[in-house]
Amino acid sequence: MSEARPDTLRLTMRVHGYVQGVGFRYFVRREASALGLRGFVRNLDDDGVEVVAEGNRTRLEQLVPIVERGPSAAEVERVEVIWSAGTGAFSAFQVRH
């Protein structure tokens, strides 16, 4: 675990809708990695998806509309967004199972 930089924030999103079984996690990993973000994406027991990303505010803000749109097969109904201080807990962006 590395220490978070002072400008590092954490963005946690809970995504609701038709978002499992449509490549959503791999879509988010690709997009978040392209933005240089670190964290993870995983399926939730309630058929939603959780995204936890750390990085600078500008890049995190760019991720929000990408997640709201999702891949073409997904139907995103709602995204809950929570901002907090970054922890530096991640070295890459991963899909968790």
CA angle 30, 33, 37 (to 5 degrees): 140
56 is catalytic: no
25 is catalytic: yes
Neighbours of 69 (CB within 10 A): 12
Rounded to a whole number of angstroms, the CA Rg of the chain reads 12
Q: Which candidate in 30, 42, 43, 56 is catalytic?
A: 43
| Distance from the first to the final alpha carbon of the chain | 20
Q: Which candidate in 25, 42, 59, 69 is catalytic?
A: 25
> Do 37 and 69 touch, CB atoms closer than 8 A?
no
Q: Which residues are catalytic?
A: 25, 43
